[in-house]
Structure 1
Amino acid sequence: MKRWLIAFALLCYLSGQAQQKHTFAYGDEHFLLDGKPFQMISGEIHYPRVPREAWRQRMQMAKAMGLNTIGTYVFWNVHEPQQGVYDFKGNHDIAAFVKMAQEEGLWVTLRPSPYVCAEWEFGGYPYWLQNQKGLKVRSTEAQYLAAYRKYIQEVGKQLAPYLVTHGGNVVMVQIENEYGSYGSDKEYLRINEKMFRDAGFDGLLYTCDPAKDVAKGYLPGFLPAVNGLDSPERVKTLVREYHHGKGPFFVAEWYPAWFDWWGEKHHRVPAENYTARLDTLLGAGLSINMYMFHGGTTRGYMNGANCYDTSFYEPQISSYDYDAPLDEAGNATPKFMAFRQVIAKHLPAGQRLPEVPAAKPTMTLPDIQFKNTGSMFSLLPAPRNAERPMTFEALKQPYGFVLYRTKTKGGREGVLSIKELRDFGIVFVNGERVGVLDRRKKEDSPAVKLPTGEVRIDVLVENMGRINFGPNLLKNEKGITQKVTFAGQELKGWQMYPLPYTDPGKASAKAGGKNAPALKRATFNINTTADTYLDMTDWGKGCVWVNGHHLGRYWSIGPQQSLYVPAEWLKKGTNEIVVLELLKPEQELLRSRTTPILDVLQ
């Protein structure tokens, strides 16, 4: 009898699910949901930038502001970190993210293009593509298409069941991403379309481009969404020009603020600069996707970098706060409340917004004193040997650090020149620090005095983030990418020590030379959990892990001077913290605070 009841309940559930199946289509002016006009008020949230345990809270905040849809990219380098190795678990479980949005009554626009930009490492491409000689991203080159096809098939297995055509909540799927800003090959876009169809994406497809690039980036027959415009008439004119004289009209990226990079002032724009623009767009019946509604944090080593030409390099910070309506920790900002008021004016008759959840509690941790400190160089793995320095890619190491070591005759002085250093380096002579290198400032050639006898030269190099936008996507190798000379003579005979530091592990480092980068470990005890921020103002440069979770990078130059610690990653009782400090190994005290520091340059 019990089995019969379970079977009956399951049948009723499946029947209910079938009855909830919806239709989504293009009308002449509006999207049509179940045949009725539907104004999409969407906000972008990226699942890897938010702890999985906090996804639902962020979605509930989206509904409280008046959003009915969530937009998200799908990140290739997250899901295929090494060729043929796929990861859709934990914080990378995109299907669970989409399903949760459905449970919260939210639609989803999906952006699974292999290229995402997004201020994300390599624009979402996996590093290993660079190891295939002749491969050219965003093109019809055979190796690229073969890798792309395998990946998108795996994504389709995860997400095609959630399309609205299959009873799910994914209403539209974007192919490519602002392609018109990069190229204009319609054959390449058609291949994208076929790959998406073959992967099971059988619903509505669309493209998105900035206004000036729509002509190059749209695909005939598909809706051309426009990015970055506030004028309804300009949007309508553009879309009609390329979409049979019809709508619907969709601003796929409507920007309420902007992102930050190291060494530059934090971007902050008052809400009042945007409320009238939002009111105008919604009043004209346009649909929008707010980029970002909630930025979160780019943890690990997944930040990208700007490099439009060879004259500059701008790696982005770990905080992706974005001055968005929802702050880095998921709390409502004044911008959130202002936008909520605007959206409430444009709700369908009889619909009311839910109450705004209270701000999440915050706390400070007890001061943390690091007694367990050791040299990063005391935990070196077995080296790789080569005549000339090998790149990260040649070492099959995506991110983190590589220590380059060679020996030469001392008793002389000259310039140590590292050609095409990418991106940040520290030079040691016989274990003593003698120089700091910074690609941003073109600092790659310190004057060095070598002591007498045989001398050991070490160059520790950090990958600060691969370029994510512009013409230099294919110039993204990391490490020492060419050669090293001293006093004009090339240094050969190198040992490379890969130091990915995805997880600092439990091994304790031992004492090292003067100014050697330090690994520091400590524990702290708490009786309750809440959000907090580590105050890194007095520290130099490095990364922090709490209970095994990589919180991101810090760097004293700013503007970010704090690291967000989500309550979800703390636990009552004993917690472990690990700091990798590159420049100030003598620092021992770490304090916390209840608010972030995102706008201090030093």
Structure 2
Amino acid sequence: MRFLFGLLPAALLLGSPAPAPTPAHTFALGPNQFLLDGQPLQLISGELHYPRIPREAWRARLRMAKAMGLNTIGTYVFWNVHEPQPGHYDFTGNNDVAAFVKMAQEEGLWVILRPSPYVCAEWEFGGYPYWLQNVPGLKVRSQEPQYIAAYTRYLQAVGKQLAPLQVNHGGPVLMVQVENEYGSYGADKQYLAQNKQLFINAGFDGLLYTCDPAPDVAAGHLPGLLPAVNGLDKPREVRKIVQANHDGQGPYYIAEWYPAWFDWWGAPHHTVPAAQYVAPLDSVLKAGLSINMYMFHGGTTRGFLNGANYKGPTTDYEPQVSSYDYDAPLDEAGNATAKFRAFREVIAKYRPAGAPALPPVPAAKPSVALPALQLTRTASLLGRLPAPVASPQPLTFEKLKQAYGFVLYRTTVAGGGEKLLKIRDLRDYAVVMVNGRRVGTLDRRLRQDSLRLALPAGKAVQLDILVENLGRINYGKYLLQNTKGITQSVTLGGQALTGWQQFGLPFDQAPAVAKSTGAAPAATGGPVLRTASFTVASPADTYLDMRQWGKGVVWVNGHNLGRYWAIGPQQTVYVPAEWLRKGPNEVTVLELLKPQQATLASLDHPILSELQPVSK
């Protein structure tokens, strides 16, 4: 009898019926429209990315999508988030993409899944994990066997999470994207065919498609798959391009329609009025085309996961800011904007007959300015270093098996006189210190690689170079040249420096400052950690005002909220209410340039559009 009970479902033993399985659907390509269970379905989709939104806020963002009239959401799947080290997979917490997809289904939304290992997305290394660069000869976005082997293992892990959630298995995933804008990078059809087969082998047995900017569709499309078009909103041109690559048929899907753009440090904030997009959106929906807005809601690229653009030695390196507000229909905090309301009015015109009225637009979330804080617990960064790794020549982040954050490079030099310090291929930002005192900075964005040092007398002067990875390139051919740290040599007065110690400072966890330690920060000018506790009566969104600070990183209650930099355009750091606690909270700031700064103010609104002169 005990054996029989062990075979019975728990629901039957308790006398309640087992939940009915979610019915599977068919989703197919018609000559002009997508077909759900044989009936036309116009996809009105918006992109949002689960790692850029606190998990506690996922449902609220999905409900905002419904309120604007979307019936679908699109999301990338990020390899470097899910396999941060080889063979170590993470699908928990904010990385639980399956939970995100299931939540979308609970909210009545379909999902377009974009799990290709390359995502671009203004994301570190375009989504690739840093450790791929440690495999000699490995070449991303190619048929190179080591890359394909790593890619295969990753897709198998993703397939276990997400293949059961395809629409033909009862889930909400309508389509799965193969590669990502590959036509802007290459034209290897065998590689694309290999991609397709790897997806099938991982369990993705539903509808697959490719997407490319309009000029690159022919290069990036794989015959037999639907070619989606990015960055175009003229229905006649979309139809022409798709038909030319798809046997004269549709359906017609604009996979990325851009209502604005992203930002990078030292450049103006990008905004475009909603009025410029209303007519194009209306024409696309009126023509019956399907569309995905990139982005519907950007959120925040927290931690060190922002990417960068770089087109070559004669161009600027452009690391992206932590805010991914994107001037999207939902702002960084998830509130409706004028663009949201304008788009909602257009979408409402094209709702299917008999569809229920759109849900009311939720009110903006409350936001507050907290009382100014004094960050009195202080520790010198140089006073709390981990054990070093020694080497004759400087080692890159990759050789140190460190993904992100900072590395402190230390050696000793003979003192006396003035000499030129030169760092070949610095990536990306350096604070230079002599005997613990800051003497200057070097910034890859400005193509700076050298600094004149006035050295104090002495046989063994300590030279420290604190190097920050500002974000690996996420687009273009320089994906293959993405190592970080001091990647070549360091010379002083023309002589190569050797005998290095490297101190890894990845800040995988929030640093803790229990009490003040080290030399007075103003005395040395060196980087410091500052911490304070504060009390919140009722958690609400707030924005840390970093305009009086220099450059660094902020953590609240263990969450890395991202970077700040006085050059702008981003001047505030968004603190979501979901990550504050009623009662005691803790904030920690790593400040590189203004160690004397101790007052931390906050605002009830963001500042994303204020540029300041470069701070040294």
- TM interval, short-chain normalised: over 0.9
Q: Distance in 1 between matches of 2:146 and 2:11?
A: 53
Q: Distance in 2 between matches of 1:304 and 1:292?
A: 16
Give 1:507 deviation, angstroms.
Answer: 4.7
Corresponding position: 1:410 with 2:415: yes
Q: Distance in 2 between matches of 1:504 and 1:3?
A: 42
Contact 1:402 1:496 in 2 (8 A): yes
Give 1:10 deviation, angstroms.
Answer: 4.2
Corresponding position: 1:321 with 2:325: yes
Among candidates 268, 291, 300, match of residue 294 of structure 2 = 291
Q: Distance in 1 between matches of 2:330 and 2:547?
A: 24
Counterpart residue identity of residue 424, structure 1: Y
Question: SS of the counterpart of 1:234?
Answer: helix
Counterpart residue identity of residue 501, structure 2: Q
Q: Over residues 423-447 of structure 1, what are the superposed CA-to-partner deviations in whole Å (9 max), with x where a residue is unaligned?
A: 0001101111111110000112011
Counterpart residue identity of residue 501, structure 1: F
What is the match of residue 343 of structure 2?
339
Contact 1:364 1:593 in 2 (8 A): yes
Q: Over residues 116-172 of structure 1, what are the superposed CA-to-partner deviations in whole Å (9 max), with x where a residue is unaligned?
A: 000000000000000001100000001000000000000000001100111110000
Question: SS of the counterpart of 2:61?
Answer: helix
Question: SS of the counterpart of 1:282?
Answer: helix
Q: 4+ residue stretches of structure 1 with deviation over 6 A? A: none
Overall identity of the aligned pairs, in %: 65
Q: Distance in 1 between matches of 2:558 and 2:17?
A: 39
* Correspondences of 1:13-52 after superposition (within 5 Å): 13-14=19-20, 17-18=21-22, 20-52=23-55
Q: CA RMSD in A?
A: 1.2
Corresponding position: 1:527 with 2:534: no
Structure 1 range deviating more: 61-70 or 307-316 = 307-316
Q: Over residues 485-542 of structure 1, what are the superposed CA-to-partner deviations in whole Å (9 max), with x where a residue is unaligned?
A: 0111111110000011122333546223611101001000111011110000100000
Contact 1:366 1:524 in 2 (8 A): no
Question: SS of the counterpart of 2:400?
Answer: coil
Q: Over residues 168-220 of structure 1, what are the superposed CA-to-partner deviations in whole Å (9 max), with x where a residue is unaligned?
A: 10000000000000000000001101100000000000000000000100000
Q: How has the CA–CA distance of structure 1 residues 28 and 6 changed in structure 2, closer, same or farther, with 3 Å as cutoff?
A: farther
Contact 2:513 2:530 in 1 (8 A): no
Q: How has the CA–CA distance of structure 1 residues 3 and 470 changed in structure 2, closer, same or farther, with 3 Å as cutoff?
A: closer
Q: Over residues 341-360 of structure 1, what are the superposed CA-to-partner deviations in whole Å (9 max), with x where a residue is unaligned?
A: 00001111122211111111
Question: SS of the counterpart of 2:518?
Answer: coil
TM-score (norm 2): 0.96
Question: SS of the counterpart of 1:118?
Answer: coil
Corresponding position: 1:241 with 2:244: yes
Q: Distance in 2 between matches of 1:446 and 1:335?
A: 47
Corresponding position: 1:540 with 2:550: yes
Q: How has the CA–CA distance of structure 1 residues 507 and 524 changed in structure 2, closer, same or farther, with 3 Å as cutoff?
A: closer
What is the match of residue 554 of structure 1?
564
Contact 1:426 1:435 in 2 (8 A): yes
Q: Distance in 1 between matches of 2:104 and 2:10?
A: 31
Contact 2:377 2:513 in 1 (8 A): no
Contact 2:11 2:17 in 1 (8 A): no
Q: Distance in 1 between matches of 2:26 and 2:542?
A: 44
Corresponding position: 1:309 with 2:315: no
What is the match of residue 209 of structure 2?
206
* Correspondences of 1:466-505 after superposition (within 5 Å): 466-505=472-511
Counterpart residue identity of residue 35, structure 1: G
Q: Distance in 2 between matches of 1:179 and 1:507?
A: 46
Corresponding position: 1:563 with 2:573: yes
What is the match of residue 81 of structure 1?
84
Among candidates 557, 563, 580, match of residue 590 of structure 2 = 580
What is the match of residue 378 of structure 1?
383
Contact 1:295 1:324 in 2 (8 A): yes
Contact 1:304 1:468 in 2 (8 A): yes
Q: Distance in 1 between matches of 2:72 and 2:286?
A: 18
Question: SS of the counterpart of 1:176?
Answer: coil
Q: Distance in 2 between matches of 1:564 and 1:517?
A: 23
Q: Distance in 2 between matches of 1:363 and 1:448?
A: 46
Contact 2:512 2:588 in 1 (8 A): no
Question: SS of the counterpart of 1:292?
Answer: coil
Corresponding position: 1:510 with 2:517: yes
Is there any run of 5+ residues in structure 2 with no aligned partner, and where? none
What is the match of residue 96 of structure 1?
99
Q: Distance in 1 between matches of 2:122 and 2:354?
A: 40
Q: Distance in 2 between matches of 1:462 and 1:557?
A: 16
Structure 1 range deviating more: 313-322 or 351-360 = 351-360
Corresponding position: 1:60 with 2:63: yes
What is the match of residue 121 of structure 1?
124
Give 1:4 deviation, angstroms.
Answer: 6.3
Give 1:6 deviation, angstroms.
Answer: 5.7
TM-score (norm 1): 0.98
Q: How has the CA–CA distance of structure 1 residues 575 and 36 changed in structure 2, closer, same or farther, with 3 Å as cutoff?
A: same
Q: Over residues 292-313 of structure 1, what are the superposed CA-to-partner deviations in whole Å (9 max), with x where a residue is unaligned?
A: 0000000000000000212220
Counterpart residue identity of residue 238, structure 2: V
Corresponding position: 1:144 with 2:147: yes
Q: Distance in 1 between matches of 2:10 and 2:416?
A: 85
Contact 1:131 1:394 in 2 (8 A): yes
Counterpart residue identity of residue 538, structure 2: T
Among candidates 384, 397, 400, match of residue 395 of structure 1 = 400
Question: SS of the counterpart of 1:165?
Answer: helix
Name the count of aligned residue pairs. 598
Counterpart residue identity of residue 195, structure 2: N
Counterpart residue identity of residue 517, structure 2: K
Q: Over residues 31-55 of structure 1, what are the superposed CA-to-partner deviations in whole Å (9 max), with x where a residue is unaligned?
A: 0011111000000000000000000
Counterpart residue identity of residue 123, structure 1: G
Among candidates 339, 350, 370, match of residue 365 of structure 1 = 370
Q: Distance in 2 between matches of 1:317 and 1:10?
A: 51
Q: Distance in 2 between matches of 1:100 and 1:141?
A: 37
Counterpart residue identity of residue 195, structure 1: L
Contact 1:160 1:200 in 2 (8 A): yes
Q: Distance in 2 between matches of 1:91 and 1:161?
A: 20
Q: Distance in 2 between matches of 1:399 and 1:301?
A: 6
Q: Over residues 51-88 of structure 1, what are the superposed CA-to-partner deviations in whole Å (9 max), with x where a residue is unaligned?
A: 00000000000000000000000000000000000000
Contact 1:535 1:592 in 2 (8 A): yes
Q: Distance in 2 between matches of 1:175 and 1:443?
A: 39
Among candidates 156, 159, 169, match of residue 156 of structure 1 = 159
Q: Distance in 1 between matches of 2:415 and 2:149?
A: 51
Question: SS of the counterpart of 1:443?
Answer: coil
Among candidates 341, 349, 354, match of residue 350 of structure 1 = 354
Question: SS of the counterpart of 1:300?
Answer: coil
What is the match of residue 427 of structure 2?
422
Q: Distance in 2 between matches of 1:4 and 1:412?
A: 82
Give 1:473 deviation, angstroms.
Answer: 0.1
Counterpart residue identity of residue 434, structure 1: V
Counterpart residue identity of residue 430, structure 1: N
Give 1:9 deviation, angstroms.
Answer: 3.9
Q: Distance in 2 between matches of 1:443 and 1:279?
A: 48
Corresponding position: 1:600 with 2:603: no
What is the match of residue 460 of structure 1?
466
Contact 1:534 1:592 in 2 (8 A): yes
Q: How has the CA–CA distance of structure 1 residues 389 and 3 changed in structure 2, closer, same or farther, with 3 Å as cutoff?
A: closer
Corresponding position: 1:230 with 2:233: yes
Contact 2:175 2:206 in 1 (8 A): yes
* Correspondences of 1:185-204 after superposition (within 5 Å): 185-204=188-207
Give 1:238 deviation, angstroms.
Answer: 0.5
Q: Distance in 1 between matches of 2:287 and 2:542?
A: 41
